[in-house]
Structure 1
């Protein structure tokens, strides 16, 4: 068995750390803090489930921060509890199916914001219609009609976006944009 070269392991760890930084930065696009993104990256590359103490040691953060991060990742379905015989502490492992993680994270984040936007557009239209009924100012009535038309356009967009979110959440998206299958690697 070949001896492990310490310099090779250092280079390996630096290389993986660079990619974990990329993961953390990219997860920021979905509203995930860089520290939680780093936590996910560490779990993803750990090769085995980790305890909160393991994570704290790996990231040099408080156990409370690790607990909060694991809970957030669990809510996003990016981390799940794990079991190992003989280990009494809670263990966690990353969700390794990034397609599943993306559809869950994208769906929940976008659904919430889109539903809020639909409600806000509905309320704004209702308020404008109430104002239109009360005013006798022709210019204001004309402006309200234009704005209601714009808000109706926005509502139609948000309804379309909700359909798109459903296509992503249901996995139907993969019929249109198939997953890229893992290529088999050959040992040399």
Structure 2
């Protein structure tokens, strides 16, 4: 009995840690609990099994599973003789990271680059007009800050390119993944 309690404690600690860290992906800890549970399950699980394991409502469970599938962190699998949907985690955390964070970084950098390019053009045009010295200094200050930010977002675009092309693994080796 002592060994079983130790195993459960170790398992629960990992599931809870995964759940807390899922906020990085913009999901609630309860959804992270689903992912952590699937991660440490040696078999695919049904919604009912997950619901019983986590003591969550079927609605919450269904929403959580759908969210994890949308993030491509879990997948539906088929098992002969099983009529209910089965779910298991996808074992490529590297790809999960690349897909999610590269996409988020790309969206954010492109949005900011577009806004800054438009503002930069407006400020450059404003400097050609009859502005007071204070207005000119303020416009130059804004341009200086915008140029710095644009350099950063252009650099970030290159980082995202490294992720999407997987060239990042030429810089940082991808660890050998054991079959789980």
Same fold (TM over 0.5): yes
For the aligned residue pairs, the C-alpha RMSD in angstroms reads: 2.1
The residue aligned with 1:3 is none
Q: TM-score, normalised by structure 2?
A: 0.88
In 2, Cα distance between the equivalents of 1:130 and 1:62? Answer: 58
Q: Does 1:138 align with 2:99?
A: no
The residue aligned with 2:49 is 54
Gaps of 5+ in 2: none
Q: TM-score, normalised by structure 1?
A: 0.84
Contact 1:78–1:101 (CA<8 Å) still a contact in 2?
A: yes
1:130 CA drift (Å):
5.0
Alignment of 1:1-188 (within 5 A): 6-129=1-124, 131-182=126-177
Contact 1:135–1:141 (CA<8 Å) still a contact in 2?
A: no
Contact 1:125–1:148 (CA<8 Å) still a contact in 2?
A: yes
- The CA deviation string for residues 35-58 of structure 1, in whole angstroms up to 9 with x for no partner, is 121111101111111121121111
1:173 CA drift (Å):
0.9
In 2, Cα distance between the equivalents of 1:127 and 1:63? Answer: 53
Matched residue count? 179
In 1, Cα distance between the equivalents of 2:125 and 2:52? Answer: 60
Contact 1:52–1:67 (CA<8 Å) still a contact in 2?
A: yes
> Structure 1 residues 129, 17: CA separation in 2 closer, same or farther (over 3 Å shift)?
same
1:183 CA drift (Å):
7.4
